[in-house]
Amino acid sequence: MGNSVDYQVKFGRIAAGTLYGKLDDDSRAFVRERAFDLRFTQQELRQVSLIARDLQMWERENIESLWPGPTAIPGQPDKKRLLRALRDQYEGLKNAPNKYLQGEGRGQSKAKAIPLRVEKEKLGLGFCPVASPKTRCCNLMTLDVVENCGFGCSYCSIKSFYDGHQVTFDRDFPKKLATLPIDPDRIYHIGTGQSSDSLMWGGSGGALDALIDFAARHPNVILELKTKSANVGHLLKRRLPRNILFTWSLNTPLVIANEEHGTATLDERFEAARKLADKGALVGFHFHPMIQYAGWEQDYPAVIEQLQRLFIPDEVALVSLGTLTFTKSVIRQIREQGTRSQILKLPLMEADGKLSYPDDVKLTMFTRAFESFPLAWREGVFFYLCMENHRFWKPVFGFEYQSNDEFETAMKRHYMEKIGTGG
């Protein structure tokens, strides 16, 4: 009796440092029962709770159904052998390609967004927050027009930089941007999609108008507005400077439905991009993150084929490729949030200080996508790998840049040439 009471006290203490409290009622009861039977340590409880949490998010199994039965381990299983068998089954599921079913996912709501207008000390101009010396980076400058995102993408890294659902707008952003010093002899490449979606807020607060006016005043600034929305109504009313690039993150319909909650559908994104291209604006597309799942080999080329039917290379400034790359803090946050998702159902490997797919998976996916574009696109559009190690460039594209500065120079040169060919 005393041992049971002692462990009950210990369990309450060690559970606080695990995902146990985030489990559904059935899983929590099962894990608790096994913990008391086997006297889990905190590390063992953390591991079992993590497995139960992932299974709950994947909605394909649960911890009770995965728990090894007496026939799974010959003889009388000890705790270590039993937990090893559990981990082996879990890893087998985790490393198998995701299975998305048609019709799933679109009913999920977008993330909650609580807009708040505040006065900020200075303009949020800096460098790409996910830049790393271990990956090939274009040295993009980033402008925080809005902070935090209103969409609910399961893999979102933006939410690791901000707390809760509060989305903040700087009420003095137009004034600050208007007084930003710009060297007329230098080419700038500035993106606004790193701290929030660039277009989902429309003309709210005058930020979009301020960006358009800023680009018009500074033709040596390449301004890239990146989005997963179809909110281009305000833009269609304005004369758009040629040096604004409107770029869309693209994915397959299954990934959008299951992992990019609240965002525009693929057809809606293409339709929005087509409307701006018809106004003479340059557009671009980011296949990022590409996700391995059952059927990806056919689905991504199908999206690329649709892209080619709707646009010609002269209208498109760029196409980027990239895949899931996580920091440990983002993974922890995804599990804490617990949204129905298979986004962590992948063979995570150490990748340049972060966690991502193994090299062979990346090379296969990037090569498959790039080879789906005909020669006219490869020659007329700037292709690049976003935040991937330089070792992938030559096998995928047949060339590589020796440094980030060389990559940046080539990108800016291509964009400025493309901008200069417009009417």
pLDDT of residue 385: 97
Is 50 exceeded by the pLDDT of residue 236? yes
In whole numbers, what is the pLDDT of the chain averaged over residues? 90
Closest CA to 12 of 34, 29, 32, 26: 32
Is 70 exceeded by the pLDDT of residue 106? no
Does a cis peptide bond (omega within 30 degrees of 0) precede residue 289?
Answer: yes
pLDDT of residue 163: 64
Task: Give the pLDDT band of residue 43 (cuts 50, 70, 90).
Answer: very high
Higher pLDDT: 101 or 38? It is 38
Q: Tens digits of per-residue pLDDT, 140-170? A: 999 988 888 888 899 988 766 666 678 888 8
Distance of CA 92 to the CA centre of its chain: 24
Is 60 exceeded by the pLDDT of residue 107? no
Q: Where are the domains of the chain?
A: 2-95, 114-420
In the DSSP assignment, the letter for residue 106 is: T
Give the contacts of 178 (CB within 8 A, at least 6 positions apart).
Answer: 210, 213, 214
Give the contacts of 340 (CB within 8 A, at least 6 positions apart).
Answer: 57, 59, 108
Higher pLDDT: 171 or 272? It is 272
With respect to CATH, is domain 114-420 assigned 3.50.50.60?
no
Is 50 exceeded by the pLDDT of residue 66? yes
Is 70 exceeded by the pLDDT of residue 220? yes
Residue 246 φ then ψ, to 5°: -100, 115
Q: Tens digits of per-residue pLDDT, 202-215? A: 888 899 999 999 99
Amino acid identity for residue 275 in this structure: K
Cβ atoms of 370 and 338 closer than 8 Å: no
- pTM beyond 0.85: yes
CA distance 251 to 319: 13
Q: CA of 296: how far to CAs of 100, 341, 366, in Å? A: 10, 17, 12
CA distance 397 to 378: 9
Number of residues that this document lists for the chain: 423
The two three-digit tokens of residue 147, written as one number: 């902070």
Higher pLDDT: 131 or 170? It is 170
pLDDT of residue 423: 44
Which residues are 124's β-sheet partners?
Answer: none
